[in-house]
Amino acid sequence: MTTTPTTTASASSAAGNSFSDVTSSESALRRFLHGLPGVDQVGAEARAASLGTRSIKTTAKDYAIDLAIRMVDLTTLEGQDTHGKVRALANKAMRPDPADPTCPQTAAVCVYPDMVAVAKETLGTSGVNVAAVATAFPSGRAALDIKLADTRDAVEAGADEIDMVIDRGAFLSGRYLEVYDEIVAVKEACGPAHLKVIFETGELQTYDNVRRASWLAMMAGGHFIKTSTGKVQPAATLPVTMIMLEAVRDFREATGQMIGVKPAGGIRTSKDAIKYLVMVNEVAGPDWLDPDWFRFGASTLLNDLLMQRTKMTTGRYSGPDYFTLD
């Protein structure tokens, strides 16, 4: 955590300065992104799989489970969301295990913009943040001014964090500068709120694209890079997250600034979450083992973490009825 106190605030401006040449034109940006070292798919997947074989037991598991709970962005992003549902989720985020006051709270709840006010009201000063998905989530298919209005609306309602989606169509057709400019514009609309940039890696498909999108978003001033909306399969995977962790590690080497990473979608078990934490530890480094720098976008994961946590303290597995369903 050596660089944390000041970097986040100045991230965009400093990054903008050091990369101003790169982002000065479409062709310069393309040259830069295509000049990044390639990713060998077979090798990357083998490395991710081998990190997944680490055996995390006893005290290490205790630590990992509590850390994972603190990293959860407890998420509900459904057409059927109601105030009642969001309030229930917010309460769960503040007191994940009502039976155990030592259980930490989650990092944030993640909702659609129209639910931000309800979530904020329920969470109050608990320290649990409200994250809102904006910019015509999940497809991102809307005009820029609508995306910006969406963002401002969420921030005005009290969102602490904005999860935006990039324009995958523009990215895949090679219009990188357009994607970059859009992120910069959304960042500005965020004001004090933190910006997470969602790539929808299931649509970008190749690891080379994931690496390029990562650099694009980091240079544009995103505070976090995030894999997926959860609405497209595959969502987060270990290799994709590893490529993004390598990107934030390399970005810090180049600029001194730390960027967070958030895998989202498809992470359902404690075992999976621990594999991600091992990867954070060994690829990006221990500095990222903090809710400020790594998050899980998840809903069902939390209950499995709680079950494992209870098992670690009592030595017994309890049934699902001993944990709240929301």
Query: Closest CB to other proteins among 107 and 134?
Result: 107
Q: Give yes or no: 226 in active site.
A: yes
Q: Which one, 60 or 88, has the nearer CB to other proteins?
A: 60
Q: Which residues from 30-89 bind other proteins, rule CB under 8 A?
A: 37-40, 42-44, 46-47, 53-61, 63-64, 67, 70
Select 286 or 320, whichever has its Cβ closest to other proteins: 286
Asked if 117 interacts with other proteins (CB under 8 A), we say no
Specify whether 120 is catalytic: no
> If binding is defined by CB under 8 A, does position 101 make contact with other proteins?
no
Task: Count interface residues toward other proteins (CB under 8 A).
Answer: 42
CB-wise, 55 or 314, nearer to other proteins? 55
| Beta carbons of 271 and 68 less than 8 angstroms apart | no
User: Is 163 among the catalytic positions?
Assistant: yes
Q: Is 124 in the site for other proteins (CB under 8 A)?
A: no
Among candidate residues 73, 150, 163, 208, the one labeled active-site is 163
Give the whole-angstrom CA distance, residue 184 versus residue 177.
Answer: 10
- Give the range of 74-82, 91-99, 286-294, 309-317 binding other proteins by CB under 8 A: 286-294
Question: Measured from the CB atom, is 79 or 192 closer to other proteins?
Answer: 192
Q: Which two tokens stand for residue 210?
A: 């994931």
* Shortest Cβ 60–other proteins spacing (Å): 4
- Judged by the rule CB under 8 A, the positions of this chain that interact with other proteins are 1, 4-5, 8-9, 37-40, 42-44, 46-47, 53-61, 63-64, 67, 70, 127, 129, 160, 194, 223, 246, 277-278, 281-282, 286, 289-292
